[in-house]
Amino acid sequence: MAVTVSLILLFGIALFFLLRSKELSPGSAFTAAMFGFLLASTGAATPINHLTATLADALSNL
């Protein structure tokens, strides 16, 4: 668990700076994919899934 949290923080910080610099490259795509992959293996996956399902439902009802 400690390694997963550390990797999420590392990839999250790297992704934040890549998005702020508006740099689009294969490295940015890898960083975003790894951040998502690692985030999905944490306890945050369930609330994120509920949030996206709620947003999709709200958008379909517009």
* Domain range list for the chain: 2-60
Q: Say what the pLDDT of residue 3 is.
A: 57
pTM of the prediction?
0.50
Q: Say what the pLDDT of residue 24 is.
A: 66
Q: How many CB atoms lie within 10 A of CB 35?
A: 20
State pLDDT tens for residues 5-61.
677 788 788 888 887 887 767 777 787 787 777 777 777 778 877 887 888 888 888
